Amino acid sequence: MSDAHVSQLRQSLVPEDRTYKQISEDILDTLEEKPSKAWLIGFSLSAFILTIGFFTVAYQIGTGIGTWGLNKTVGWSWDITNFVFWVGIGHAGTLISAVLLIFRQKWRTGINRAAEAMTIFAVACAGIFPLIHAGRPWLLYWVFPYPNTRGDLWVNFRSPLLWDVFAISTYLTVSLVFWYMGLLPDLASIRDRTKSKMRKLVYGLLSFGWDGSNRTWHHWEVMSLILAGLATPLVLSVHTIVSMDFATSVIPGWHTTIFPPYFVAGAVFSGFAMVLTLMIITRKVMNWENYITINHIEAMAKVIVVTGMIVGLAYGTEFFMAWYSGNEYEKYCFLNRATGPYWWAYWTMVSCNVLSPQFFWFKKLRTHIGFVFFLSIVVNIGMWFERFVIITTSIHRDFLPSSWAMYSPTWVEIWTFIGTFGLFFTLFFIFIRVLPGIAVAEVKSVYKYARNNK
């Protein structure tokens, strides 16, 4: 048989010159070594930004949300914009962890651990904004329905904001359990490798007595699939419920049934872009080029192309339905988005989310590390503008021209948002220093599969 008819295997996700021992050393030894200068610089900068954000949040809680640039029409401003942005960032972790596990996509193994951690940190950042928006965060427990002595004062179960409480808390709980259970084999490996008695004790407790037996591995694999099955509906349900914050209202530009699938696709779109941003930095800082490979980056770029096209279709569908409905208010809302005072935000959104991902059709570009890193940041900028456009341009001009107003953020809102990035990256830097940022056991399973099929 000629070489032209021989099936070519895909390039291995793990270099074949590594051994199982070397894989463990490459990933786990970084936890024993002193932090690198790049890690120290990144952590210090993130902690500094977090500190500024902390004092900004403390100031606005003590003073009141009048410190925001609110006016009589734009009542949500950056608060809900940033909430939806961070929830969207957290979507890719569950998708990579659960959905790709169920579909047996082996390229997930190099990036799933960090993506799962990213989900938890992003949801933590998202939770800050409704907390502040409540005005009196020390009474936030009132949003939970529980037997109380407040008479007839109960939560409004018809409110989409209450649905958010259940959706986000469930999402965080399942994601946290799924992430932690996946850590067990690697925590046991750290326990067995470390020479420090204190670290051995801590990691021994965290690993729940993992003994590496066939029975233990079998139970762990079954548990992973069960949790993946529970987590998969969350990919659809969480951002669907977030979209209902808008879709169940009567505001032109919001009252539309396309929002649930549109928001889900956008969340996966922005989430994968953030995973790319983090993974490209991490592989360089931690010297993990052998485990976060070009193949991983290319696969994520392909997902961005698909979800970006879905988002572009949603943009076009919104305009078509506004015209086809014959509703003057709907038509004006979308015309105002594209040509009104915030036209620059709308066209920034379209350029970043619809046009820029098209470059990933070219293999040379989606395998170029620098270009992919740049475009992943561009996508996240575009997705932030999408949330800003949906919220601000839909309500800054309402039914009464006499109440029209322009919105601009104050320094409080800006630094609160920047501070959440400080929280996000501070948590991520701590994570890669105390826990394995790559799933060692799962990478080894892919390595074994590649060698057996060579």
Q: Answer whether residue 329 is part of any domain.
A: yes
Which structure tokens are listed for 272?
């994968």
Q: Answer whether residue 188 is part of any domain.
A: no
Q: Answer whether residue 282 is part of any domain.
A: yes
Cβ contact 450:16 at 8 Å: yes
| DSSP 8-state class, residue 368 | -
Residue 355: the pLDDT is: 93
Cβ contact 354:308 at 8 Å: yes
Q: Answer whether residue 429 is part of any domain.
A: yes
Q: Answer whether residue 155 is part of any domain.
A: yes
Cβ contact 117:179 at 8 Å: yes
* 139: number of Cβ within 10 Å: 9
Chain mean position to CA 355: 22
Q: How many residues does the chain have?
A: 454
Q: Answer whether residue 11 is part of any domain.
A: no
Residue whose C-alpha is closest to residue 353's, from 311, 319, 317, 306: 311
* Euclidean distance between CA atoms 405 and 111, whole angstroms: 45
Number of domains in the chain: 1
Q: Answer whether residue 6 is part of any domain.
A: no
| Domain interval for residue 399 | 18-172+232-445
Task: Return the SS3 of 68.
Answer: coil
Sequence letter at residue 1: M
Helices (H), 340-409: 343-350, 363-366, 369-395
- Please give the chain's pLDDT, 454 residues, in tens: 445 444 455 566 666 667 777 777 778 877 777 888 888 898 999 999 999 999 999 999 888 888 888 887 887 778 888 998 998 888 778 877 888 888 877 888 878 888 888 889 998 999 888 888 877 888 888 888 878 777 777 888 888 878 888 888 888 888 899 899 888 988 888 888 888 888 888 888 888 888 888 899 899 889 888 988 888 888 788 888 888 888 888 888 888 889 988 988 888 899 889 989 988 988 888 888 888 888 888 989 999 999 999 999 999 999 999 999 888 888 999 999 999 899 999 999 999 999 999 999 999 999 999 999 999 999 999 999 999 999 888 888 888 888 888 888 999 999 999 999 999 999 999 998 888 888 888 887 776 555 555 5
What is the pTM for the complete model shown?
0.88
Q: Answer whether residue 163 is part of any domain.
A: yes
Residue 10: the pLDDT is: 58
